[in-house]
Amino acid sequence: MRDGPSPATEGTETFVELARTGGARVERIASRAVSGGAWYEQGWAEFVLLVAGGARLAFADGTEHALSPGDWVHLPAGCRHRVAWTDPTAETIWLAFHLPAGPG
Amino acid sequence: MRDGPSPATEGTETFVELARTGGARVERIASRAVSGGAWYEQGWAEFVLLVAGGARLAFADGTEHALSPGDWVHLPAGCRHRVAWTDPTAETIWLAFHLPAGPG
């Protein structure tokens, strides 16, 4: 249940929506050899888990956070972040859980 | 970011809430040597990913589904299921994403 489309070319990412209800979404992301991806700043929280490969997330304050398979990060709403790097030798697979905006 | 409390005794599970907004919840579950757990039937969809260990989920129609690290399952609202088995030799770690009820 982890197979899916692969990114065609280096430095790109492929997104597939796996589930969506009640304003929440589950997304599979496949990355290959990303280096300095686009910045994201979302009005909702995201919970991201690295399934395979390796990656580093960068934050607006200049810090970076390395992720190995099984590691996860909670990105609160408004947390500016981007993919700084993914393993150039293997495909990196993520699951991203987009939580609806608003209180619990 | 994957550490957390371990189940104290065999056959038990430990739940920790990692994030909650807008009616969605992310939960870390640690299982040890579960064999024939309780049945669940929820009014909302759940998306469950196996991070470490090994497990089998059972469904109301008698089928079972084996999960290895990195495997995930989408459990639609009303899908009756239970943990039939988790690896007795290692701790099994899950991430469960509870999506809010309702349309997308």
Q: Is B1 on the interface with A (CB under 8 A)?
A: yes
Residue B40: pLDDT band with limits 50, 70, 90: very high
User: Per-residue pLDDT averaged across B15-39, rounded?
Assistant: 90
Inspect the interface and report whether the beta carbons of B101 and A24 lie closer than 8 Å.
no
**Can you tell me the mean pLDDT for B25-53?**
92
Average pLDDT across each block of 10 residues of chain A; the chain has 104 residues. List them in order.
74 88 91 90 93 96 95 94 94 93 76
pLDDT number for residue B2: 67
Q: Could you give all domains of chain B from N- to C-terminal order, each with its CATH number?
A: 12-99 (2.60.120.10)
- Whether A43 has its CB under 8 Å from any CB of chain B: the answer is no
Q: Measure the N-to-C terminal CA separation of chain A; round to a whole number of Å.
A: 29
The pLDDT of residue A40: 93
CA distance B53 to B43: 28
- Which ipTM was obtained for this model? 0.75
pTM, two decimals, is: 0.83
pLDDT in tens, B50-97: 999 999 999 999 999 999 998 999 999 999 999 999 999 999 999 999
Task: Please state, for a pLDDT cut of 90, what percent of chain B lies above it.
Answer: 70
| Residue B16 predicted with pLDDT over 80 | yes
Q: What was the pLDDT predicted at A2?
A: 67
Q: Does B36 touch chain A (CB under 8 A)?
A: no
Contacts with A2 from chain B: Cβ below 8 Å: 70-72
Contact B102 A47 (CB under 8 A): no
Q: If pLDDT is split at 50, 70 and 90, which confidence band does B1 have? A: low
Interface membership of A36 toward B (CB under 8 Å): no
Looking up tokens 């009005």, which residue turns up?
Answer: A43
A67-83 per-residue burial string, b: 16 or more CB within 10 A, e: under 16: bebbbbbebeeebebbb
Quick count: other Cβ atoms within 10 Å of Cβ B5?
10
